[in-house]
Amino acid sequence: MLRYVDDTSAAIWVETRDHTTVTVTCGRSTASARTFAVHGHHYALVELDGLTPGSSEPYTVDIEGAMVWPDPGSDFPAPVISTLEPGRPLSLAFGSCRTSVSHDAKGNDEHGVDALRAWALRVADHVDPTDPDDPDLAPDRLPDLLLFLGDQVYADETTDEMRAFIESRRDIEQPPWTELRDYEEYAHLYALAWSDPANRWLLSTVSTAMIFDDHDIRDDWNTSQAWREEMEATSWWHGRIVAGLGSYWVHQHLGNLSPAERREDELYAKILAHEGHDELDLGEVIDAFAERVDQQPETYRWSYTREFDTQARLVVVDSRAARQLDPERRALLDDDEAAWLDEQLRGDVDHLLIGTSLPFLLARGLHHLEAFSEALTEGTWGDRGARFGEKMRTLVDLEHWGAFQASFQAVARQAMEVAAGERGTAPSTVTFLSGDVHHSYVSEARPARRGRALRSTVLQAVCSPIRNPLSRNMRFATAVLSYGVAGPLGRLVSKSAKVPDPPLHWRYAEGPWFDNNLACLQLAGPSLRMWWVTGTVEDDHERPRLAKVATYELDEQGKPPPHENAGQKLRRRLRRR
């Protein structure tokens, strides 16, 4: 997998069958790394340097002198490393929520077409575009980054193939049943997620950045103190959280870091310091690390920042592990994490991008419902109301930013300060990129009160799912809470529980839609353009076609298009269908 890439360096993550030395060659640059072991699995991170800015060159992976990648039998193009180039318009793709099932009729009927795979086939030129005149479906170059915003693996909702593996190891009638138990099962789940030939090729040739969400560990992970106490009382939770966080560091987080950040990382420092020809076994060390950071999240940061010269700053936020769940000090981000985010939210770039798996701006009806549930659980309507509120927020997944009002209010104020030019020169946009909710949309925000003029366009862009669509009933419920009177009614309900007014007003500019899809984003000076693509099947489930779902763009001054009224928007949607 091609992970962190900048203008002169690249990191290639490899899992091997045995202890070995891995060598990567790209043009005139060659680098090698020995594997390290974690619970019987072997990994290497090979760091190339001295690459040419703005170049795109094929590379090979060798083990003990034998080339193992690209696969000689593959008909996919050669994998390449494409370095960044200062001043070149930035392009990235993003999305979340992807189950790993077969790509035949059965898998597509149950989970829909994998949008990531359909896109991989298209950019590899294996499938003719649905519309050859649409350049969005036939890009002239690969994106600079593919950002996964959570739920790449589902540790709690396992597929038939994963369940068969679990059953081959243990009794699935015993806890944790068909959910994941240990590192071995996580390693197998990652292999299922990343080993389809088209996706494997894509991940080897497009740089990736990642962050976890709840299903990487378990649905509703860290919803509340009561939820956490319930989990910790089970016989299996300790093994799950240790394996989940440890495997996440190996498979996802390590590749997020820049070369300088990797050198400072406490686990990677042990890999660099290891001497001798024997393989470093990190199993016990990673287990102890994972146990500690679960109980003391302030001792390690999963969040990170990427700078793309003056074009963009991407701030990726851990909105799961860093939560403060004490009912007296409840917050989506603990004090240390909140202070770190406050420091990152600055202007002096064309675009400030904030990656958070949970949408910062939900549909207003959903937002107010979550705020109401938090106030209810905190005792606004007495002990009986508090018990009902706790049950409601766990049952209906009311645990997004709106359910942590102190954190929501703080970050909303910080985002507006950036947009008003109070934290450096105001960027063209302050754009939240998110997933999680299994529907996609774009919202535009403005200050709730007069007096503050924003120089930036404030946006929320959501892409979810890549492959895990909502049921029809859930789509209907989401639509009801997304349109019409749901927002005002929700506000009345939350106001009755004394929830403070949000400092922002927001409304849909596009959406929602419920397709499996992947979002693409292009930046060029002040302008921003986004579009969502999905896979469709005509007669061959193994070779889906790519189709566009929606488009949103700002003009050359970074301003949104004129708003349509409800009738215009409805007519346009009907024409598109």
**Cβ(459)–Cβ(487) below 8 Å:** no
Alpha-carbon gap, residue 494 to 186, rounded angstroms: 40
Alpha-carbon gap, residue 382 to 184, rounded angstroms: 46
**Cβ(72)–Cβ(510) below 8 Å:** no
Position 577 confidence tier, pLDDT thresholds 50, 70, 90: very low
Does the pTM of the predicted model rise above 0.75? yes
Going along the chain from its start, the domains and CATH numbers come out as 1-85+151-210+213-301 (2.60.40.380), 87-149+302-577 (3.60.21)
Tokens matching residue 23: 């060598």
> What percentage of the chain carries pLDDT values higher than 70?
90
Q: What is the pLDDT of residues 458-485, one digit of tens each?
A: 999 999 999 999 887 778 777 766 665 4
**Cβ(519)–Cβ(99) below 8 Å:** no
Q: What is the pLDDT of residues 287-311, one digit of tens each?
A: 999 999 999 999 999 999 999 999 9
> What percentage of the chain carries pLDDT values higher than 90?
77
Tokens matching residue 101: 């099932």
For the cut 50, the answer to whether the pLDDT of residue 567 exceeds it is no
> From the DSSP assignment, how many helices (H) and strands (E) are in the chain?
17, 23
Position 496 confidence tier, pLDDT thresholds 50, 70, 90: low
72-76, 155-159, 523-527: least confident range: 72-76
For the cut 70, the answer to whether the pLDDT of residue 566 exceeds it is no
Helix, strand, coil percentages (3-state) for the chain, rounded to 5, are 35, 25, 40
pLDDT on residue 386: 65
For the cut 70, the answer to whether the pLDDT of residue 491 exceeds it is no
Q: What is the pLDDT of residues 162-187, one digit of tens each?
A: 999 999 999 999 999 999 999 999 99
